[in-house]
Structure 1
């Protein structure tokens, strides 16, 4: 409020104020404004301290979560292959048992090898390691197959003629492509 308006209001209320009264009124207003500003400052400082505390807690919580996640990833890397290794132990046991037989006949050796191969295949399947063995005539897929050569054949071009070596995949990811010969264009 301007001084002239203030003086007008004061004059209407009871006449003009003396300079001392004006100064005292102004000092009272200043003290009141200062007290209000100090109260607002104290409230803002308290809010700032509370927000700083919340920030530090959130930061510590995020750091703890990051550390726990890193520990879990390290454990997963270290022990992730544990179930796969456990499923291969019977295969190793079978091989050792077969080698321990000194006077095995060729038929016994073949029978033991076939049984061990079945154990190995079952262990691979349990761990989602699947064979890639395309039948003759199937379309060549560069994501699953590796063409070793193109040969003339009585089938459609760019189809598998024969499999030289099976491939393997794990969880839809190719570990090793199947080595195949492919029908050449006519």
Structure 2
């Protein structure tokens, strides 16, 4: 009969089909729980992996944002510093002009020069100093103060009985600061203790 109807399955094929149906039924009724648990564990692990990746990405984003803020802050500080001290060399060169104006005022008043000329030099000096002060240049005149090597340069030491040792007794050239930074130290004479003491 099997030869008459080629569509009829053989006994071996029927056994294979029966085994496949039984396996499908067993899977459907829950007899194959181990593979389902394994897939559940991997499904539980996937959200944990995703959460870890999310936390790492958020951390990286926060670090990148902090780095960007630090770069911006550092750039602003450098620009501010450059703005403050851009005039340093220029102002340093102008200090020689201020010194010459001060010498001219001293010599004119000592020699009894023309009053109008002296007044003109004084007004020029005052205007010059006003402009320098406007841009942050401030004179350092340590006369009568204790000697400070940070702002003054001792040119010589002299015995001065009426002054405390290590006190500035004469200023040969004023010093200047630009926005708190020393532009030029003052050149001074410093008192020392009398040699007989």
- TM normalised by structure 1 equals 0.57
How large is the Cα RMSD of the aligned pairs?
3.2
The CA distance in 1 between the partners of 2:75 and 2:48, in whole Å, is 40
In structure 1, the partner of 2:38 is 34
SS, match of residue 156 in structure 2: strand
1:179 aligns with 2:187: yes
The CA distance in 1 between the partners of 2:86 and 2:193, in whole Å, is 47
In structure 2, the partner of 1:8 is none
1:148 aligns with 2:155: yes
Q: 1:56 to 1:175 in 2, by over 3 A?
A: same
In structure 1, the partner of 2:167 is 159
The CA distance in 1 between the partners of 2:128 and 2:121, in whole Å, is 10
More displaced, 174-183 or 119-128? 119-128
The CA distance in 2 between the partners of 1:167 and 1:157, in whole Å, is 21
Which residue of 177, 186, 194 corresponds with 1:169? 177
Q: CA deviation at 1:166?
A: 0.8
The gaps in structure 2 that reach 5 residues or longer are: 1-29, 88-113
Q: 1:143 to 1:107 in 2, by over 3 A?
A: same
Q: 1:40 to 1:109 in 2, by over 3 A?
A: farther
1:49 aligns with 2:69: no
Q: 1:123 to 1:27 in 2, by over 3 A?
A: farther
Pair member with larger Rg: 2
Alignment of 1:99-114 (within 5 A): 110-114=118-122
Residues 171 and 186 in structure 2, CA contact (< 8 A), matched pair in contact too: yes
The CA distance in 2 between the partners of 1:158 and 1:72, in whole Å, is 42
Alignment of 1:5-44 (within 5 A): 28-44=32-48
Q: CA deviation at 1:123?
A: 2.9
- TM normalised by structure 2 equals 0.55
Q: 1:63 to 1:160 in 2, by over 3 A?
A: closer
The CA distance in 2 between the partners of 1:169 and 1:132, in whole Å, is 7
Residues 85 and 178 in structure 2, CA contact (< 8 A), matched pair in contact too: no
